[in-house]
Amino acid sequence: MFLSYNLVMDRVILHCDMNNFYASVELLEHPELKDLPVAISGSQEARHGIILAKNQIAKSYGVVTAETIWQAKRKCPELILLPPHHEKYSHFSKKINEIYLRYTDLVEPFSIDESWLDVTGSRRLFGSGKEIADSIRETVYRELGLTLSAGVSFNKIFAKMGSEYKKPFAATEISRENYKEILWPMAARELFFVGRATAEKLNSLGIYTIGDIANSREDALYTALGKHGIQLFKYANGLDDSPVCKFGEREPIKSIGNGWTLPHNLTERDEVLSAVTSLSETVAARLRKHQLKAFGIKVDIKDPNFVTISRQKQLDNPTNLTLTIKKAAIELIEAQWGLKDTCRPIRLITITGINLVPEDEEFQFSFFHSDKDEKSNETMERTMDQIRKKFGKNSISFGKSSLR
């Protein structure tokens, strides 16, 4: 009885994920590089520039996202590096979502190059879920010259895992009939939302595969991982009923900022530094909470006469760390406001992380590859997130002057 109810009521959800999105967009304008190894990277002059994206050929040399340019060049000396163009990626992202919207109005972008589509009600017009996925793939390729991989399933998580399963330019259906066979033998780490730390914890409990998670006791997972454990149990068993939002209802977050009108005008360098530290801290914590990183930092300063300056700078690599955000903000203020021991009076400061990119797992857990300071800062700031979660927002913060 229950089973037939499921069969009647099952949703048909697609997850569409562009293949090597940044690199593919850049290559549209450089067809002569199409058969060469190409990567998009942060500034080459900066010592710590990292690989942001790569094409399939660079991938075959072992080039991975988030490693340093230096490491990538060692694997592939002839690697061609191009700088990123975020406006271009946004432009194509919009065009791609417009194509999805021809099939359904339930299109929920997850990041610049990934969207979920609920096509349950579109089948009469466009065919089965798999047929719709194939039609979308071909349309995007024909009209924009870009390829994507799609997953088709009865929930969002399995659809996402389907789009990961076979790349590039493929569609994979994860059904009630095959999900145990396809997904359960995979490593626990492969389940959506299982990061490296969680995977290690699961392994220490003897849980190695997605099937092991599905067949664990829910209360044991709760004891080990809290609410996250319950969520993983549900995901592994296909019990995700979260809806696909209507397009425009949940836009991906474009920027994260925080500003203060100060109790009195700031004129002392020390006061400005401590305000900037606190603001950077909240911006960084909110970026981490949303699993995002900022590629640029913007500072707005208003003086007592309501004259506002607004300045922004690109970072070499995306960040969600207080220290990096603070450093960029201070540089902007120093350059634009003349921040010596004293400065022109400041009435309001706003710090905003802009050009956000998803802190996907490659970025999130690749800090073995990044430089040592960034790694230890990341570890420290994540620990602070944990402490605040447990003991309250004001339980810990950066010392006012410890972070110059």
Active-site residue set:
114
Tell me: cis bond preceding 252? Omega within 30 of 0 counts.
no
Give the nearer residue to Mg ion in terms of CB position, either 16 or 297: 16
User: Of 169, 150, 55, whose CA–CA distance to 100 is shortest?
Assistant: 150
Give the nearer residue to Mg ion in terms of CB position, either 112 or 283: 112
User: Of 403, 396, 351, 349, whose CA–CA distance to 377 is shortest?
Assistant: 403
Give the nearest distance from C-beta 86 to Mg ion in angstroms. 15
Tell which positions 111-130 bind Mg ion, by CB under 5 A: 113
Quick one: 3 exposed, middle or buried, by C-beta within 10 A (0-12, 13-18, 19+)? Answer: exposed
Tell which positions 246-285 bind Mg ion, by CB under 5 A: none
**For residue 148, which phi and psi values (nearest 5 degrees)?**
-140, 160
Give the nearest distance from C-beta 188 to Mg ion in angstroms. 22
Residue labelled with tokens 């410890």: 402
Give the nearer residue to Mg ion in terms of CB position, either 152 or 346: 152
**Using the 8-state DSSP alphabet, how is residue 246 labeled?**
P
Give the nearer residue to Mg ion in terms of CB position, either 89 or 158: 89
Span of 18-26, 39-47, 66-74, 119-127 interacting with Mg ion by CB under 5 A: 18-26
Tokens representing 400?
Answer: 């006012």
Q: Does 17 bind Mg ion (CB under 5 A)?
A: yes
Give the nearest distance from C-beta 112 to Mg ion in angstroms. 9
Give the nearer residue to Mg ion in terms of CB position, either 15 or 288: 15
Q: By rule CB under 5 A, what string of x and - marks binding of each residue 303-332 to Mg ion?
A: ------------------------------
Q: How many residues interact with Mg ion (rule CB under 5 A)?
A: 4
Q: Does 26 bind Mg ion (CB under 5 A)?
A: no
Quick one: 388 exposed, middle or buried, by C-beta within 10 A (0-12, 13-18, 19+)? Answer: middle
Give SS3 for 81.
strand
Give the nearest distance from C-beta 21 to Mg ion in angstroms. 5
Calculate the alpha carbon distances from 138 to 26, 146, 188 in Å: 20, 9, 32
Span of 12-20, 212-220, 250-258, 339-347 interacting with Mg ion by CB under 5 A: 12-20
Q: Kind and range of the H or E element at 361?
A: helix 361-364
33 CB neighbour count, 10 Å cutoff: 16
Give the nearer residue to Mg ion in terms of CB position, either 19 or 41: 19
Span of 15-23, 196-204, 268-276, 323-331 interacting with Mg ion by CB under 5 A: 15-23
78 CB neighbour count, 10 Å cutoff: 9
**For residue 71, which phi and psi values (nearest 5 degrees)?**
-65, -40
Are 315 and 295 a contacting pair, CB within 8 Å?
yes
Q: By rule CB under 5 A, what string of x and - marks binding of each residue 94-113 to Mg ion?
A: -------------------x
Give the nearest distance from C-beta 384 to Mg ion in angstroms. 31
Give the nearest distance from C-beta 135 to Mg ion in angstroms. 20
Where do contacts with Mg ion occur on this chain (CB under 5 A)?
A: 17-18, 21, 113
